[in-house]
Amino acid sequence: MYKLTISEKEKMMQDLDYKTHQEYKYKICAEPLQRNTFQDCYREQLVSFFQMAPLINKTVPLEEADYILYSNPYARVQDFSDSVLKELDDINARRKSTAEIIICGKATNIKHILKDKYENITYVPSHFAEYVGKRFELDFKEEYVVYDDRNGFLNIWPVDGCLNKCGFCRRTFMDIPFESQPIEFLKEKLDWYKENYPEQMKYVSLRAENLNQYGLDIDGENTTYKVIDLLNSYDEIKYISIGIGYSVGETNEKLKESLAKCNKIGDIVLYPETGSDRLLKLIGKKHTCAMVKEFIKFLRTYHPNIVIWVAVMIGLPTESLSDIEELGNLLMSCDIDLAHCNYYGYVDKHPLAVYPQISQNLKEYHLKYLINYIKKHYNKEKILTLRHETFYDSSKRSVVRELEQIKKEQKYTKGRILYGETYEYFCGDDIVVKSHQEITSQDKLEEEYDKVVTKKLLTK
């Protein structure tokens, strides 16, 4: 059975053209959904939105539609609710009086702000591809095991949502339904790939918002070990990347046993978030610095060549230079390959908003202080890379403004991400500082990823 590839679905999703649209029994406008799809996260695109791509060539202009599909990432680094209100206002003003607006996914969080402002609105927080498919007699539904031919990875999303409320996270002001996929269901999907496209199973990317809460809703406890054991049981799978969602503070012994046994894990991203237990407590994380160190040591013991990335934030409220030194000490004492050090992104709905905030200048100073501190004290032979992403043009720092700009410039094509990066490499006394100020497009950025990291991962 031939299935459309993700590139084909992506292309279909981009090809919105009212002049060539196919007649369909339901008059549906999916343009407001389509426009925001390209700014949404990878999971939403592959699990749901791209699965709905065949709808695009049936789309009619908004003014003629009986049904209008709408989506919005709602929150990425910052709160997008104002954009959602603006876009819904515009749709409401232009729609036929009888047309129904169907809000899909995270944008349904607007319900508590919108209240009864407009009539004829349906909210579908999850399984919206399936909902739209059933309602409009189209054959699509969510897919949780998806091969992405653009990067050659088989992506698996075993669980969606997270039950924690860390003080810096969008979880504190938006709801995403929590759902684990039963292990039998995941096995069925993997067996399908084994039967039809075994070569597509070589590289697996295991992804979640909180991987370590897998099973809480269906097994009554964290059973992430079942997912690791399942993946480990396929000879076709050669390499597993855990690139997002591993929570050190929610690691149990069964999971450690499975991780120790599984020699296919090639890389993992961990989220220490900050380097002092005082700040960890303030932001409500479930781990301590000692737990991070112990877990990294455990990984290295069983898998000496695993690539370990960590993500930390600079500029959390109340952060002092002694917190920065503790962070530097944590990064240097753990055997990691790369530390992603971005600034804390303030949102006034975060619980952390009650504290006085660190100014932008002070954040920059803290980052410099961290770099200099590591330069002064790093004495290992192994290369440690520190990466920081920042916007070149400060007028573009607002992600909302950036998205608006992208929409204006590239109405029906893939959005561009405008940001730059700075890398710092440390290796013993031989410190190389490299700036990537010239990187201005996603393509160039991806080239850099290729050179710096991806090749290293895939050639292991």
Q: Which residues bind ligand SF4 (CB under 6 A)?
A: 162, 164-166, 169, 171, 209-210, 247
Are 457 and 267 spatial neighbours (Cβ–Cβ below 8 Å)?
Answer: yes
Q: Is 277 helix (H, G, I), strand (E, B) or coil?
A: helix
Query: Kind and range of the H or E element at 282?
Result: helix 277-283
Distance CA 257, CA 264 (A): 14
Compute the C-alpha angle 289/290/294, nearest 5°. 120
Q: Which is nearer to ligand SF4, 79 or 209 (CB)?
A: 209
Q: Which is nearer to ligand SF4, 169 or 370 (CB)?
A: 169
Q: Which two tokens stand for residue 348?
A: 């006034």
Count other C-beta atoms under 10 Å from residue 137's C-beta.
9
Count other C-beta atoms under 10 Å from residue 238's C-beta.
12
Minimum Å distance from CB 47 to ligand SF4? 17
Q: Which is nearer to ligand SF4, 33 or 255 (CB)?
A: 255
Q: Is 397 helix (H, G, I), strand (E, B) or coil?
A: coil
Minimum Å distance from CB 249 to ligand SF4? 8
Q: Which is nearer to ligand SF4, 162 or 265 (CB)?
A: 162
Minimum Å distance from CB 228 to ligand SF4? 19
Are 174 and 74 spatial neighbours (Cβ–Cβ below 8 Å)?
Answer: yes
Are 215 and 226 spatial neighbours (Cβ–Cβ below 8 Å)?
Answer: yes
Q: Which is nearer to ligand SF4, 285 or 388 (CB)?
A: 285
Residue 387 to residues 276, 305, 367, 432: CA-CA distances in angstroms?
20, 21, 11, 13
Helix 321-333 with 289-302: angle, nearest 10 deg: 20
Query: Kind and range of the H or E element at 422?
Result: strand 420-426
Q: Which is nearer to ligand SF4, 177 or 198 (CB)?
A: 177
Minimum Å distance from CB 285 to ligand SF4? 7
Minimum Å distance from CB 179 to ligand SF4? 14
Q: Which is nearer to ligand SF4, 67 or 80 (CB)?
A: 80
Q: Exposed (0-12), middle (13-18) or buried (19+): which is 48, by Cβ within 10 Å? A: buried
Minimum Å distance from CB 250 to ligand SF4? 8
Minimum Å distance from CB 165 to ligand SF4? 6
Minimum Å distance from CB 256 to ligand SF4? 19
Q: Which is nearer to ligand SF4, 9 or 285 (CB)?
A: 285
Nearest to 107 by CA among 175, 22, 30, 25: 175
